[in-house]
């Protein structure tokens, strides 16, 4: 029987080192450790700190006004788990083979077994147990040694290994190499070494330290005693000194276990009939939790803290794919993630100005420090739907928590400033069909179509953003309206523009149109495209792709999932069928959305297949690049497909509603959500969907179209 809170080498796609390092990476929202071989150094090994980046000017062949100025690249820091092991006579254990690995999702402990070899084929076994503090930035490291054919003395030195040089790559999803770092090592005591790393251009500093629980960082041990060496690693807060290390292995392990107990109390999932799938979902949520910045000034990178892919940047992925999970299970953490967006509002205001908009804010498409870091504006800044995505997330957070303090302090301002941007960036046009508000030159979520007019998703989301600003203006403290110079006339104008926003529709296919020109283009020649030429982005010039009907990921369909009342089932089915045929799912952000829409259409086989690919994406290495880091948006997407897809969870006009659609392969699905200070357990079997109120006051909800009031038993 599969343990649904445990992952081993047998559960994953391959034993390739960089892939294994990603899958078993450990993190706590601030620091991330890849599960690299502790006696080797490699380009992919190392420690990552959320928000610790270096900048470098972007060199354009042909620059233009307002282009992003600097790359921001997350820095791969020395590997805290590294050790140097040699025999008494100086033979170094340089070769190593991973033999077993177990990640305990209930406690956060990772146990790995390696067989180490010297050049003279002397062999020993190393068992390394790693655990990351979840309320501290300390790491417990326990190294146990056993003899195989070498039985004598060992000399073990805890090191802070520098990172080997990275290889250059043409894959835009990989990170750039950072060479402008200064390292200052301090031997604090025989037991402790610190290294402070400063970046030359972003002017940031971080300190990493290692502390021996024995007498010194270098220790001589007898293999016959089956020796166990404990070390503590630690990482400072960015730009702060490293505090004294106070934990030992047991206290760090206890801290981690307690944290995960709390997480699982609200996040546990049971799929009766498929333990392996339950395990995959637990893994996904484990990694989502590990990746999320908890301090209000960091966020969730596209690869979390599992790798340096996408340079550690934060995208819309957070708000549209990951935040719902946190909003519904850990609203305090969701608030911190939104607080990060609030913290970069000044940069977003500047960015709006750079694009010629006097009032309002435009959030960067990809960033760490709030400034735009996308060097390719057609698939970067032009995806200004990110503004509405962030506002949408504020709306969901408010629906689920009714957190007025957040609204007054941050939430309203975010929604207001993004709404102001829409009001100025779009324009009215007289057409035969009447006067309408439009957005020209835009890129929607589908990155295989760029710089078009009236992307349906963007226009629909902008409409929502403006309506939300109007709605929240009625809830927010009037003092906030005064502080932000909001006049009634402005709020009314938001409502008018929202009403007038044009939503493209294709008469021929009787479906919402991805944009004004999408259906004029020839369909991509799918039949003559070899399998080896996917993802298309690695094989074709962007213009070859852009002038065809081909979608990298869910686009119009994403809008349909978000606004279920907009489209009837017949149209939705036509739309789903049409877009499904021309979508390659080259982006990991696609399948979860198709699964949700298929559920809504009761296309349960398709919903199930899309869901299985989503739920197991990194464990089967579906995209083929998990070695660079996990696909965090998809991890969140797997939770969405379960809750919004199979359980039909939506908030409609302030009321929580569920509609059950259980795949035939399962006998029962159970999960929990928090909603307005309540804890709910949702249970769906093949007959019915039931919601049990575990904590909090009675609540009126809609289940399968029927209004019900649920009370605690
Ligand atoms: O934000 C996504 C985008 O939608 C597709 N390309 C990858 C980005 C980061 O995950």
Could you report the per-residue pLDDT of 634-656, keeping only the tens digit for each? 999 999 999 999 999 999 999 99
Closest residue to atom 5 of ligand 1, CA basis? 587
pLDDT band per the 50, 70, 90 thresholds, residue 43: confident
637 C-alpha to center of ligand 1: Å?
Answer: 13
Q: What is the mean pLDDT of residues 569-578?
A: 98
Q: What integer pLDDT is reported at residue 112 of this predicted model?
A: 98
Of 138, 319, 372, 447, catalytic: 447
Q: Best mutation site among 173, 288, 302 for ligand 1, i.e. most ligand atoms within 8 A of its Cβ? A: 302
Omega before 535 within 30 of 0, i.e. cis = yes
Q: Best mutation site among 306, 446, 457, 587 for ligand 1, i.e. most ligand atoms within 8 A of its Cβ? A: 587
Residue 576 to residue 590: CA distance in whole angstroms? 13
Contacts of 462 (CB under 8 A, 6+ apart): 385, 387, 388, 422, 426, 439, 501
Ramachandran assignment for 203, one of left (phi > 0), alpha (psi -120 to 50 degrees), beta (any other): left
pLDDT band per the 50, 70, 90 thresholds, residue 657: very high
Check: CB of residue 655 under 8 Å from CB of residue 676: no
Q: Is 447 designated active site? A: yes
Q: Which helix (H) or strand (E) holds 254?
A: helix 249-267
**Is 524 annotated as a binding-site member?**
no
**Is 553 annotated as a binding-site member?**
yes
Q: What integer pLDDT is reported at residue 175 of this predicted model?
A: 65
pLDDT band per the 50, 70, 90 thresholds, residue 166: very low
Index of the ligand 1 atom closest to the CA of residue 310: 9
On the question of pLDDT at 322 being above 50, the answer is yes
On the question of pLDDT at 171 being above 90, the answer is no
315 C-alpha to center of ligand 1: Å?
Answer: 7
- Based on the number of CB atoms within 10 Å of its own CB, is 522 exposed (0-12), middle (13-18) or buried (19 or more)? exposed
494 C-alpha to center of ligand 1: Å?
Answer: 29
Q: Best mutation site among 367, 552, 633, 636 for ligand 1, i.e. most ligand atoms within 8 A of its Cβ? A: 633
Q: What integer pLDDT is reported at residue 1 of this predicted model?
A: 82
On the question of pLDDT at 168 being above 90, the answer is no
Q: Ligand 1: which residues within 6 Å by Cβ?
A: 302, 310, 315-317, 445, 447, 587, 589, 633
463 C-alpha to center of ligand 1: Å?
Answer: 23
Index of the ligand 1 atom closest to the CA of residue 445: 4
Index of the ligand 1 atom closest to the CA of residue 173: 7
Lowest average pLDDT, out of 42-51, 136-145, 296-305, 634-643, goes to: 42-51
173 C-alpha to center of ligand 1: Å?
Answer: 9
Is the pTM above the cut of 0.85?
yes
Angle between helical axes of 591-600 and 569-581 (0-180°, round to 10): 150
Index of the ligand 1 atom closest to the CA of residue 552: 5
On the question of pLDDT at 146 being above 60, the answer is yes
Helix (H, G, I), strand (E, B) or coil at 142: strand
pLDDT band per the 50, 70, 90 thresholds, residue 179: confident
Residue 265: how many other CB atoms lie within 10 Å:
12
Residue 567 to residue 573: CA distance in whole angstroms? 10
pLDDT band per the 50, 70, 90 thresholds, residue 155: very high
Cα-based distances in Å from 704 to 41, 411, 570, 656, 657: 56, 32, 19, 11, 8
201 C-alpha to center of ligand 1: Å?
Answer: 27
634 C-alpha to center of ligand 1: Å?
Answer: 10
Q: Which tens digit of pLDDT belongs to each residue from 460-508? A: 999 999 999 999 999 999 999 999 999 999 999 999 999 999 999 999 9
What single DSSP character describes residue 252? Answer: H
pLDDT band per the 50, 70, 90 thresholds, residue 160: confident
Closest residue to atom 6 of ligand 1, CA basis? 587
Q: Which tens digit of pLDDT belongs to each residue from 237-259? A: 999 999 999 999 999 999 999 99
Phi, psi values for residue 185, rounded to 5°:
-100, 135
Closest residue to atom 9 of ligand 1, CA basis? 302
The pairing of strands 205-212 and 228-235 is antiparallel
pLDDT band per the 50, 70, 90 thresholds, residue 22: very high
Alpha-carbon torsion 205, 210, 215, 218, what sign? negative
Percent of residues, the chain, with pLDDT higher than 70: 98
Closest residue to atom 10 of ligand 1, CA basis? 302
Index of the ligand 1 atom closest to the CA of residue 315: 1
Q: Best mutation site among 313, 317, 455 for ligand 1, i.e. most ligand atoms within 8 A of its Cβ? A: 317
Give the CATH architecture of domain 26-264. Answer: Distorted Sandwich (2.70)
Q: What is the mean pLDDT of residues 190-211?
A: 96
Ramachandran assignment for 191, one of left (phi > 0), alpha (psi -120 to 50 degrees), beta (any other): alpha
């Amino acid at each position: 029987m599969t343990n649904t809170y445990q992952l081993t080498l047998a559960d994953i796609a391959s034993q390739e080192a960089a892939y294994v390092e990603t899958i078993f990476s450990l993190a706590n929202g601030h620091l991330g450790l890849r599960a690299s071989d502790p006696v080797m150094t490699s380009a992919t090994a190392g420690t990552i700190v959320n928000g610790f980046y270096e900048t470098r000017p972007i060199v354009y062949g042909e620059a233009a006004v307002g282009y992003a100025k600097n790359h921001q690249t997350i820095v791969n820091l020395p590997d805290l788990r590294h050790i140097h092991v040699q025999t008494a006579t100086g033979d170094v254990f340089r070769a190593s083979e991973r033999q077993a690995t177990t990640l305990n999702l209930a406690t956060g402990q990772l146990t790995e077994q390696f067989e180490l070899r010297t050049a003279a084929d002397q062999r020993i076994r190393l068992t390394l147990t790693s655990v990351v503090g979840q309320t501290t930035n300390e790491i417990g490291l326990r190294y146990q040694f056993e003899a195989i054919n070498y039985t004598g003395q060992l000399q073990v030195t805890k090191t802070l290994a520098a990172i080997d040089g990275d290889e250059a790559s043409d894959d835009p999803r990989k990170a750039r190499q950072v060479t402008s770092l200064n390292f200052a090592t301090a031997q604090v005591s025989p037991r402790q070494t610190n290294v402070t790393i400063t970046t030359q251009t972003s002017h940031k500093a971080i300190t990493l330290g290692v502390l021996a629980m024995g007498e010194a960082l270098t220790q001589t041990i007898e293999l016959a005693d089956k020796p166990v060496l404990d070390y503590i690693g630690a990482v400072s807060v960015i730009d702060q000194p490293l505090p004294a290390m106070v934990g030992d292995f047991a206290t760090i392990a206890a801290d981690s276990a307690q944290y995960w107990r709390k997480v699982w109390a609200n996040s546990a999932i049971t799929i009766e009939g498929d333990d392996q799938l339950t395990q995959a979902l637990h893994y996904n949520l484990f990694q989502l939790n590990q990746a999320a910045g908890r301090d209000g000034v960091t966020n969730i990178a596209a690869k979390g803290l599992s790798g340096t892919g996408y340079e550690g940047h934060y995208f819309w992925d957070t708000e549209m794919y990951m935040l719902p999970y946190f909003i519904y299970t850990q609203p305090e953490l969701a608030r911190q993630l939104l607080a990060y967006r609030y913290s970069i509002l000044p940069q977003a205001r500047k960015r709006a100005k750079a694009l010629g908009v006097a009032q309002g804010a435009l959030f960067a498409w990809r960033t760490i420090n709030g400034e735009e870091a996308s060097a390719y504006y057609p698939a970067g800044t032009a995806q200004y739907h990110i503004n509405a995505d962030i506002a949408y997330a504020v709306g969901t957070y408010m629906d689920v928590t009714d957190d007025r303090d957040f609204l007054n302090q941050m939430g309203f301002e975010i929604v207001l400033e993004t709404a102001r941007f829409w009001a100025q960036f779009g324009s009215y046009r007289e057409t035969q069909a009447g006067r309408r508000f439009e957005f020209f030159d835009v890129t929607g979520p589908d990155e295989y179509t760029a710089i078009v007019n009236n992307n349906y998703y963007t226009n629909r989301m902008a409409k929502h953003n403006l309506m939300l600003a109007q709605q929240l203006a009625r809830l927010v403290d009037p003092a906030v309206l005064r502080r932000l110079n909001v006049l009634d006339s402005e709020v009314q104008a938001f409502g008018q523009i929202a009403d007038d926003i044009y939503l493209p529709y294709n008469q021929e296919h009787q479906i919402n149109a991805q944009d004004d020109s999408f259906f004029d283009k020839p369909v991509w020649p799918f039949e003559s495209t070899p399998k080896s030429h996917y993802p298309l982005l690695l094989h074709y010039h962007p213009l070859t792709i852009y002038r065809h009907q081909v979608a990298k990921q869910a686009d119009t369909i994403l809008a349909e999932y978000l606004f279920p009342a907009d489209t009837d089932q017949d149209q939705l089915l036509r739309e789903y069928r049409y877009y499904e045929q021309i979508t390659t799912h080259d982006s990991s952000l696609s399948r979860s959305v198709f699964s949700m829409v298929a559920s809504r259409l009761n296309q349960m086989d398709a919903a199930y297949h899309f869901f299985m690919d989503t739920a197991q994406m990194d464990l089967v290495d579906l995209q083929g690049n998990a070695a660079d880091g996990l696909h965090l948006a998809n991890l969140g997407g797997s939770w969405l497909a379960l809750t919004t897809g199979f359980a039909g969870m939506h908030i409609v006009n302030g009321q929580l509603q569920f509609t059950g659609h259980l795949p035939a392969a399962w006998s029962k699905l159970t999960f929990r959500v928090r909603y307005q200070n309540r804890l709910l357990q949702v249970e769906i079997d093949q007959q019915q969907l039931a919601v049990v109120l575990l904590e909090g006051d009675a609540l009126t909800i809609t289940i399968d179209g029927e209004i019900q009031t649920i009370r605690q038993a």
